[in-house]
Chains A and B, each alone.
Chain A
Amino acid sequence: MKVLIPGALRSYTDSAQAEADGTTLAEVVTALDRRYPGIAFRMVDEQGRIRRHIRFFVDGQPVHDLSRPADPQGELVIVQALSGG
């Protein structure tokens, strides 16, 4: 599926967009990490939880459960969400 990468993670991808596949979103994240080592742990913690200031949207809808099936034709948007100085 198509993955849109936020600015904070482009040091890994050198690109705003990536392709990664898997049967679940967790597998998509694992596939991203195989291609861009280290990127997964910056977004998802060691317990498999999306980090506090990261948001995932699939086809425009917020997603919190990474065990959700991944649609190869879908679009995953990863957003950095934080306010303050």
Chain B
Amino acid sequence: MNPPRDTAGLVTLLVATRKGAWLYHADAARRTWQVDGPHFLGHVISHLVLDPRDGRTLLAAAKTGHLGPTIFRSTDFGRNWAEAMRPPAFAKAEGGRGRSVDHTFWLTPGHASQPGVWYAGTSPQGLFRSEDGGVNWAPCSAINDDPQYRTWMGTAQDGTPDGPKLHSIVIDPRDPSHMYMAMSGGGVHESFDAGRSFAPLIDGLKVVEGFDVSDATFHDPHCIRLCPANPDRLYQQNHCGLFRLDRPATRWRHIGAGMPAEVGDIGFPMVVHPRDPDTAWVFPMDGTSVWPRTSPGGRPAVFVTRDGGERWQRQDAGLPAEQAWWTVKRQAMTADSQPSVGLYFGTTSGELWASTDEGAHWCCIARHLPDIYAVEVAERGAP
């Protein structure tokens, strides 16, 4: 099914799953959704992202169970797709002992002043850059080949269950040379020279008890977001709680103490408001005992702060009241920039949920999809 002829100004959800990708096109009220998909049925799609600089280019990070990873590109908003000429791949090492990219996990369009520039984060941890809209990708050796960074990355056993990842590639909207990235595991890092060099930014963060908090190896940031309305403010959902950083300070501040004790402040996604830097949303999960990674108590809920993380309020109207054991992965929750901000998340059980009133009420707009890995918003033109 082709997308609507004219979706300018409307919201489209880009849904990446373990078995393919789907696009959901909203009407002007965001009440009804027209489904377009599956695209790449059977492919593991880790991320599907619109280039906001042209409003029509989509990149999809793909692999299958059998085949190696690649990037698919569409320059007509998903009508047609072509494969990248040179997908992210590590430099070849002598004797075949080098690393190989298992999958591209994260895609970030470059700065608004640099059309065609994209960044990719991979599993195992690697950073890659494209300067031609995602056709050709070059490895960033400052991360991928640096002995210190390789040490901080640890081994495959130190990472997430489906492989350690480089993610949360964030470009400062005021300066294309200033960027952040995070590694699970391996910590948060900052560059002031467009990725030619990086330095850790982990002061104030917690690690699992008993480990050295000064060693980036033991840090596990889950998701980092920069506030569009105040690019000096970063929020972070970490393996060890919720944190905020207000630059030029370099010390993260724990902001999870206001979460209910029975819920805790562990989770994967972190979502910021497009216009209010004091407002952010999280989706907590059960991070106790053996880390079930389900909704705490089987009662899923979004939590919002309106004061920069001092206090958090539960938002579960419309969500299942009990016996719902799914959760939301780090790329699977996002917001649009409409006057009444829309929030969206996809679940590990294949449900797609939406709120058009900043989380006050929720409705399920799709069920029975595969395990949802990522949900991104595509807004083409002004609302």
Q: Do A and B bind each other?
A: yes
- Residues of chain A contacted by B99 (CB below 8 angstroms): 47
In the complex, whether B100 has a CB less than 8 A from a CB of chain A is: yes
B92→A47 contact, CB < 8 A: yes
A8→B101 contact, CB < 8 A: no
B65→A48 contact, CB < 8 A: no
Chain A, 24-53, contact with B by CB distance < 8 Å: what is the 0/1 string? Answer: 000000000000011001111111110101
B65→A47 contact, CB < 8 A: no
- Residues of chain B contacted by A37 (CB below 8 angstroms): 83, 85
Query: Besides A38-B84, A51-B68, 19 other CB < 8 A contacts?
Result: A8-B64, A8-B66, A41-B70, A41-B87, A43-B68, A45-B100, A46-B91, A46-B98, A46-B101, A47-B93, A47-B97, A47-B98, A47-B99, A48-B92, A51-B66, A53-B67, A54-B66, A54-B67, A80-B67
B residues touching A (Cβ–Cβ < 8 Å)?
64-68, 70, 83-85, 87, 89-93, 96-101
- Residues of chain B contacted by A82 (CB below 8 angstroms): 65-66
State the Cβ distance, B329 to closest chain A Cβ, in Å. 18
- Residues of chain B contacted by A43 (CB below 8 angstroms): 67-68
Asked, given contacts A8-B67, A41-B68, A84-B65, whether A47 binds B83 with beta carbons under 8 Å apart, the answer is no
- Residues of chain B contacted by A41 (CB below 8 angstroms): 68, 70, 87, 89
A51, B63: Cα distance in complex, Å: 12
A6, B91: Cα distance in complex, Å: 28
Q: Is the interface of B mostly helix, strand, loop or mixed?
A: loop
Size bin of chain A's contact surface: 20 to 34
Q: Which of B68, B85, B97 contacts A42 (CB 8 A)?
A: B68
A49, B99: Cα distance in complex, Å: 10
A48→B96 contact, CB < 8 A: yes
Closest 6 CB pairs of A and B: A45-B100, A46-B89, A42-B67, A80-B66, A53-B66, A82-B65
A38→B66 contact, CB < 8 A: no
A84, B162: Cα distance in complex, Å: 15
State the Cβ distance, B242 to closest chain A Cβ, in Å. 34
Q: Which of A46, A53, A54, A80 contacts B100 (CB 8 A)?
A: A46
In the complex, whether A58 has a CB less than 8 A from a CB of chain B is: no
A3, B204: Cα distance in complex, Å: 57
- Residues of chain A contacted by B92 (CB below 8 angstroms): 46-48
User: Can you report 12 residue pairs joining A to B where beta carbons are below 8 Å apart?
Assistant: A6-B66, A37-B83, A38-B85, A41-B89, A42-B67, A42-B68, A45-B68, A46-B100, A47-B100, A53-B67, A54-B67, A82-B66
A38, B89: Cα distance in complex, Å: 13
Chain A, 47-85, contact with B by CB distance < 8 Å: what is the 0/1 string? Answer: 111010110000000000000000000000000111010
